[in-house]
């Protein structure tokens, strides 16, 4: 079983924020792969499905970003899963828009959602870092991540979402490197 976690903030006012790219991609994966309807549990909402014969539970914590670990920890404990069975999809300021990196373990890099998850389940879970770019000034970071994607961002946001959705079975099969490569190759060249 795989626990697929998308990070974001709940509520319509946050739905298109840069910080919510994790929610956007997980929702696209659930739609494309025919997951069950979303239902509230584990201080979040979940949808279940199977990809490549493997059971996948998609989870969107509804605790707000800074408390995401409460929801992830509750689901992990309920299913008696190990952190290695968790994949967290989140926004990454330190990557250019549309870039992706996948790794297991590591630090939180100042990301409050990851910091909360680290505190609840440890650091040995998989992270899918989706680049949203940096505003250029650290004092603008909060404002930047809590604002909607610009129209110009659609040139890379939609292809990135589609590529992650198409390549997701590789991630389920434990082929993180192949997943990352397939997504990278599917992206339009950015000038």
Catalytically active residues are 19
The closest alpha carbon to 34, from 59, 56, 15, belongs to: 56
Who's near 104: CB < 8 A, 6+ residues apart?
Answer: 84, 124, 125, 126, 127, 176
Query: Following DSSP, what letter does each residue of 67-124 receive, concatenated?
Result: GHHHHHHHHHHHHT--GGGEEEEEEETTS-TT-EEEEES---TT-HHHHHHHHHH-S-
Measured between alpha carbons, how far is residue 143 from residues 66, 81, 147, 165, 178 in Å?
A: 16, 35, 6, 28, 34
């Amino acid at each position: 079983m795989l626990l697929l976690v998308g990070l974001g903030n709940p509520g319509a006012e946050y739905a298109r924020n840069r910080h919510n790219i994790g929610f956007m991609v997980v929702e696209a994966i659930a739609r494309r792969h025919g997951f069950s309807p979303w239902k509230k549990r584990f201080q979040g909402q979940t949808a279940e499905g199977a990809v490549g014969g493997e059971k996948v539970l998609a989870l969107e914590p509804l605790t707000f970003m800074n408390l995401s670990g409460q929801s992830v920890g509750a689901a992990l404990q309920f299913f008696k899963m190990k952190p290695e069975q968790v994949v967290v999809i989140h926004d990454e300021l330190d990557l250019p828009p549309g870039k992706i990196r996948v790794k297991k373990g590591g630090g939180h890099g100042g990301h409050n959602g990851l910091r909360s998850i680290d505190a609840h389940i440890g650091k040995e879970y998989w992270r899918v870092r989706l680049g949203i770019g940096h505003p250029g000034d650290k004092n603008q970071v909060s404002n930047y991540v809590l604002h909607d994607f610009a129209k110009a961002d659609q040139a890379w946001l939609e292809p990135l979402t589609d590529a992650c959705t198409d390549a997701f079975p590789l991630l389920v099969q434990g082929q993180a490197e192949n997943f990352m490569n397939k997504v990278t190759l599917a992206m339009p060249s950015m000038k």
